[in-house]
Every structure is written in structure tokens, then in C-alpha cells.
Amino acid sequence: MTLKRSLFNILLVVILLFSFAKLSYALEPKDFVQSTIDKASEILSSESSKDEKIVQLRDIAKNTVDIRGIGFYSLGSHRKSLDSDQKKEYLKIFEQYFLKSFSSRLAEYSNPKIRVDSQEKLNEKYTMVSSTLLAGEDKPEVKIDWRIVTKDPNSPLIIDVVIEGVSLAKVQKEEFNSIIQSNGGDIKVLFNTLQEFITYHL
């Protein structure tokens, strides 16, 4: 390869990387949500088996959802009682729980039609994206809001989904707290409950 050709190739790579960086930075939260929805819809409407869809949906979740943030939020004040080793153990279990719960439930849908409508910047850290699950023959229209972490505009992440005013993260937080409180404040019971779901839930 000549020096001229080599320099040309390097220049081409730099241009492509710079263009990608600009595109990534310019990605608005509502475009991020729409892109995520489109990817999921493509998987759900494919001819792949349910198991294959679950694997692909998990990959999407890993790249678009703030699983760590949701996990700690779900613990609420109980997070303060964990030492560093327990936090690591919890996050490992929670990620497995979240991905299995998310992907297996979503894989049941054939191809939900969701229209992204608008976005509202709540503060420097969060933006709310509003969307609509379009009505079907036997299903009503549903309003869905997506709380997006936008601290880093290059890496927006979903931190919560609000369906008709009901926060799924808040519901999960209340459920986790109920499990802990009904077992004398023993947080290990929550760990065991999540592990049982991972192991036995189909």
C-alpha cells in the first residue's frame, strides 16, 4: 500500500468517526426512544423463535436501559444498609432478574405500534419522552412516557417507563420494599426471591 493510499484511508476513517460522533451527540432523546422502539419492533415481528427474540431483546436492553440506576432506585432507603460486597451481589442478581423479566414478557408481543410524540427536558439530568401505543382492534390507545437519563448526551439511557401515569420503577420499588418489610427487614430474602425468579421462571 502506498503512503498516499494509506493516508487517504486514515483520513477516511477519521472523517467517518467524526461524522458518527456528531450524529451520536445530536441524537435527541425522542429519536433515541424511537430508534429503540424500531429495533425492538423489528425483532418482535421477525420469524425468529421466542428464545432467539429474548436473546436479541436482552442485548437491546443492555445498551439502552440504565439497569444499575433502576436497580438502586428499586432498593430505596434499603440501599444504605448494604456494604460494598452486598451491592455487587445485588447488582449482579438484579441485572439477571431485570433482563429475564423484561425480555421474556416483551417477547410475548407480536409487534406493538408505538408513536413517539414529544419530549420535555425536566432538568440537566433527565428528559421525559411522550409516546402512544396505538389502539388495535381489541386494545385501547395507551399513553407511555419514557424517563431518559441525559447527563451524557452521547449515551442516553432509559431509567423508567410510565404507563398511563403509573411508574413501573416506582411499582417495583414498592414491591421490593414490601418483600423486605414483610420479612423483618432481611434484605437477603429479596436476593433469594430474585434468584428464584431467575432460576425457575419460564
Q: How many CB atoms lie within 10 A of CB 176?
A: 21
Q: Is the pTM of this model over 0.85?
A: no
pLDDT digits (tens, 9 = 90+) for 86-135: 999 999 999 999 998 888 777 666 667 889 999 999 998 999 999 998 88
Query: Is 162 a residue whose pLDDT tops 50?
Result: yes
Position 159 confidence tier, pLDDT thresholds 50, 70, 90: very high
Which has the closest alpha carbon to 162: 134, 140, 143? 143
pLDDT digits (tens, 9 = 90+) for 169-187: 999 999 999 999 999 999 9
For the stretch 143-160, what's the b/e string if a residue is b when 16 or more beta carbons lie within 10 angstroms of its beta carbon? ebbbbbbbeeeeebbbbb
Higher-pLDDT residue of 110 and 30 is: 30
pLDDT at 110: 67
Our CA dihedral for 26, 123, 39, 200, rounded to 10 degrees, sits at: 150
Region 81-88 average pLDDT? 94
